[in-house]
């Protein structure tokens, strides 16, 4: 017996020595994988890039992992209880490992030769998720235990639980419980009830198997088991348990719930930042604040839908997306499944026609609602033949719809729902703060998810007559006045830069004869523009156009330049118009205001060229960044100028005269529809290219400039009778109605050096005393026409350039409207 006991002691000692040796050997092999205390505390989570509007509303997230980190203090007590009940009820008592769990793992090794899983405490899960892989090996398990033990020595239980709550994967790309609350319930943890908290507490074990969306039955079983555990452990009372255990599943896949619809903006920002930060952009937790105004962005979205829908309906109804009479009697679930295949675009959603009468149609919306379409809601729907022709006007619902049609409808304030269709044409809108180039709203097309092509920045189209203000600016700068006479008559140009002789014409083929430049602009007379460019010279005009941000190399070197034949983007046109809007200063558009890291520290802040008439330019080697704005022109502490001042590229006198001429486009010309806004500070210009392939309107006041383009991506004509004033101007009006709401008129300052005199509207010369049809015109002092006095005795006319209070005004008030 003594011998046996001696052998047993020797074997035990040997086993202890061998075990210790093996343990030490394993420790030596894995010690490099064990993080230091500093590494444990400094561990950073992968947090997605978030893009916000200027007023802090979420536009988009980019990154594979959705995560919103929270502190331990933000963890609801019921969630902590649910997680501990599900994963580790002895969390606050063990040293980081569960001895019984480890024993089970040891038996697995002995019986199967490998680790099947289980036995992990929350601390061990944190060790695995932060510092290790998920491979099922003894070395990894051993390392996990060592790290867990060390974590328990160096970190508090609260710190460990906080790490767990933020790191764990919970399905649907959500990492951490706050992200899960947003994904499954579209809210934050503090707003979830007990049943919902228990539901997401059941996800760590198997996010796919217990997912309430994919596996609702299994998810419900696990949720109720967790609730039962919480009751057993005294974490909830019986009443709370009984209420929660019968609660229905309310989880849905909400995805990313952006607060602002600005997908084109988000993509612009992503591309811009990727060039600087690379792939780290997607998981470093950066927050990007753009210049986008969320209210104006929503107005821009609505304006695009409004303009395109109106255009589209004018050209007729193309019919249903599909006809499925078999769906009419099908179960609701099948109906909705088919309707969901036709994704929503903007305000348009799909609907199934269930029945029709002469004056109504009963429909099923894609949300399951059953409603009615009235005759008024569809009587617009003449059959579409082509962009120039429509069929006969329908006389009843039966001429338009049949049972089983899958159609598109949109909400209507008066009619409830209105028959509609997804427009084939496209439109784009950009609106700038003309004082610094900040992009306040941008829509690159009808729907980003269906077509990511950004027509504001990537599409180069001919601007047509909307380019003419730049030509007229060159003319005024060159010595012409708004009263200069140009003969609007047929002409042939043998331009060596053109393939053949060119005979430009006006829209409609009408010629007006001798015409004042002011009239020619608001009537959009092509011949006058061409003659002006011919007289000024193409080369000096191309050089002049640099002032508006245009590269002469991108512009045609021939007379067609005067009619807007260059291929330019809406962004470029808006940038040029900003010079006219702000008093003649060149600003550069930008969309990123600032970039913050995960801790809220500033990584980048924009520094744009900013209009400041009283400032002197900064003497710096580096020019302002075209994508970059700080909040003040001066450092408030030291009074030092901190922003680069926008260079003045256009004489204020020239700028004001062109602005005043463009106001007449709204008063009398092709932009007359905009008078509905009842603003006399706005100016603008329409543009339409040959065959109506492009329709433009650009307009502004002293603060904001907005450009709208409309057309087909394949350059098909928009159709007979469609112009910039009929297609794009209504969109501009709809947007500017909101953009200008509750704002004071913002005029461009009239330089005191300008002179307003009465002129003869037919000749552009100084009006005679008492001339009844005389009108007022504004001139640069050197261009004021001479006074011509008629002599009653000799019948001759003499010239006099002296001042005459009856004929000359130098008032600062806006000039009077022309008297016709």
State the catalytic residues.
Answer: 87, 465
CA distance 216 to 202: 12
Element containing residue 544 per DSSP (H, E): helix 538-544
CB 165 within 8 A of CB 177: yes
Torsion over CA: 159, 162, 168, 174 (sign): negative
- 375 by DSSP, 3-state: which? helix
Which two structure tokens, joined as six digits, stand for 153? 């020595």
Give Cα separations from 665 to 151, 504, 568, 682, 685 (angstroms): 74, 22, 22, 10, 6
Which stretches within 567-672 are classed as H helix?
570-581, 652-667
Which of these, 411, 409, 412, lies nearest to 401 by C-alpha position?
409
Do 654 and 693 contact (CB within 8 A), yes or no? Answer: no
Backbone angles phi and psi of 370, in degrees to 5 = -105, 125
SS3 of 717-749: the string is CCCCCCCHHHHHHHHHHHHHHHHCCCCCCCCCC
Residue 282, token pair as written in the block:
């997607």
Whose tokens are 């049809």? That residue is 773
- CA dist list (Å): 354 to 6, 56, 392, 418, 459: 93, 44, 25, 16, 42
Would you tell me how many other CB atoms lie within 10 Å of the CB of residue 353? 26
524-534 CB burial, b ≥16 within 10 A, e <16: bbbbbbbbbbe
DSSP string, 186-247: SS-GGG--HHHHHHHHTSTT-TTTT-TTT-HHHHHHHHHHHHHHHHHTTSS-HHHHHHHHTP
Phi, psi of 373 (to 5 degrees): -105, 130
Q: Which residues pair with 396 in a beta bridge?
A: none
For residues 617 and 620, what is the distance between their CA atoms, to the nearest angstrom? 9
Q: State the number of CA atoms in the 13 A half-sphere of 295 facing the CB.
A: 7
Residue 764 phi/psi, 5-degree rounding, is 80, 0
Contacts of 257 (CB under 8 A, 6+ apart): 58, 182, 186
DSSP 118-175: ----HHHHHHHHHHS-----HHHHHHHHHHHHHHHHHS-HHHHHHHHHHH-B-STTBB
């Amino acid at each position: 017996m003594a011998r046996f006991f001696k052998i047993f002691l020797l074997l035990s000692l040997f086993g202890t020595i061998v075990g210790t040796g093996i343990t030490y050997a394993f420790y030596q092999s894995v010690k490099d994988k064990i993080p230091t205390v500093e590494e444990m505390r400094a561990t950073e989570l992968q947090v997605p890039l978030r893009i916000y509007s200027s007023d802090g509303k979420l536009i988009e997230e980019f990154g594979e992992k959705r995560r919103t980190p929270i502190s331990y203090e933000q963890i609801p007590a019921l969630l902590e209880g649910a997680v501990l009940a599900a994963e580790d009820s002895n969390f606050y008592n063990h040293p980081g490992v569960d001895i019984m769990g480890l024993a089970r793992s040891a038996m697995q090794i002995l019986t199967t030769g490998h680790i099947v899983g289980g036995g992990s405490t929350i601390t061990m899960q944190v060790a695995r998720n932060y510092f290790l892989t998920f491979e099922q090996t003894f070395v990894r398990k051993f390392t996990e235990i060592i790290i867990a033990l060390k974590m328990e020595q160096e970190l508090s239980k609260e710190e460990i639980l906080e790490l767990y709550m933020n790191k764990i994967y919970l399905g649907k790309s959500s990492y951490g419980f706050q992200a899960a609350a947003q994904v499954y319930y579209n809210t934050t943890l503090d707003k979830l009830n007990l049943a919902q908290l228990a539901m997401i507490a059941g996800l760590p074990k198997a996010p796919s198997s217990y997912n309430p969306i994919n596996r609702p039955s299994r998810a419900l079983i696990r949720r109720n088991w967790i609730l039962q555990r919480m009751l057993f452990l005294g974490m909830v009372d019986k009443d709370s348990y009984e209420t929660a255990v019968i609660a229905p599943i309310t989880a849905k896949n909400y995805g990313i719930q952006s607060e602002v619809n600005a997908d084109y903006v988000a993509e612009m920002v992503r591309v811009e930042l990727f060039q600087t930060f690379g792939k780290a952009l997607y998981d470093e937790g950066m927050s990007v604040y753009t210049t986008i105004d969320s209210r104006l962005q929503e107005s821009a979205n609505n304006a695009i839908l409004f303009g395109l829908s109106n255009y589209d309906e004018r050209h007729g109804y193309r019919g249903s997306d599909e006809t499925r009479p078999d769906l009419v009697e099908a179960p609701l679930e099948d109906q909705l499944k088919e309707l969901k295949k036709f994704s929503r675009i903007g305000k348009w959603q799909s609907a199934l026609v269930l029945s029709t009468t002469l004056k109504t149609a009963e429909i099923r919306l894609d949300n399951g609602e059953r409603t009615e379409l009235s005759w008024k809601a569809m009587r617009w729907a003449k059959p579409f033949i082509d962009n120039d022709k429509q069929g006969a006007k329908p006389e009843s619902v039966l001429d338009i719809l049949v049972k089983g049609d899958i159609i598109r409808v949109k909400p209507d304030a008066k009619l409830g729902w209105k028959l509609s269709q997804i427009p084939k044409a496209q439109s784009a809108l950009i609106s700038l703060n003309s004082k610094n180039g900040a992009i306040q709203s941008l829509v690159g097309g009808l729907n980003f998810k269906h077509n990511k092509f950004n027509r504001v920045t990537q599409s180069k189209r001919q601007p047509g007559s909307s380019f003419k203000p730049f030509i007229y600016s060159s003319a005024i700068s060159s010595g012409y006045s708004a009263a200069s006479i140009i003969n609007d008559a047929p002409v042939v140009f043998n331009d060596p830069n053109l393939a053949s002789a060119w005979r430009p014409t006006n829209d409609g083929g009408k010629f007006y004869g001798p015409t004042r430049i002011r009239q020619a602009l608001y009537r959009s007379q092509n011949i006058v523009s061409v003659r002006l460019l011919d007289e000024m010279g193409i080369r000096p005009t191309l050089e002049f156009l640099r002032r508006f941000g245009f590269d002469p190399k991108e512009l045609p070197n021939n007379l067609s330049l005067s009619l807007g034949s260059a291929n330019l983007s809406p962004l470029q046109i808006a940038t040029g118009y900003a010079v006219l809007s702000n008093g003649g200063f060149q600003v550069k558009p930008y969309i990123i205001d600032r970039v913050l890291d995960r801790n809220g520290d500033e990584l980048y802040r924009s520094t744009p060229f900013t209009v400041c008439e009283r400032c002197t330019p900064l003497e710096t080697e580096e020019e302002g960044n075209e994508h970059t704005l700080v909040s003040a022109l001066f450092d408030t502490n030291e009074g030092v100028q901190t922003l680069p001042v926008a260079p003045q590229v256009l004489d204020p006198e020239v700028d004001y005269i062109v602005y005043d001429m463009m106001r007449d486009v709204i008063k009398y010309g092709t932009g007359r529809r905009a008078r509905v806004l009842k603003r006399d500070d706005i100016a603008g210009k329409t543009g339409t290219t040959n065959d109506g392939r492009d329709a433009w309107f650009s307009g502004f006041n002293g603060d904001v400039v907005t450009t709208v383009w409309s057309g087909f991506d394949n350059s098909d004509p928009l159709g007979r009778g469609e112009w910039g004033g009929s297609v794009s101007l209504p969109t501009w009006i709809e947007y500017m109605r909101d953009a200008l709401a509750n704002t004071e008129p913002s005029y461009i300052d009239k330089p005191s050096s300008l002179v307003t005199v009465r002129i003869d509207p037919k000749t552009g010369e100084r009006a005679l005393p008492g001339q009844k049809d005389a009108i007022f015109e504004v001139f640069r002092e050197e261009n004021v026409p001479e006074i011509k006095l008629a002599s009653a005795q000799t019948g001759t006319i003499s010239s006099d350039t002296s001042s005459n209070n009856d004929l000359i005004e130098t008032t600062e008030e806006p000039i009077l409207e022309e008297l016709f």
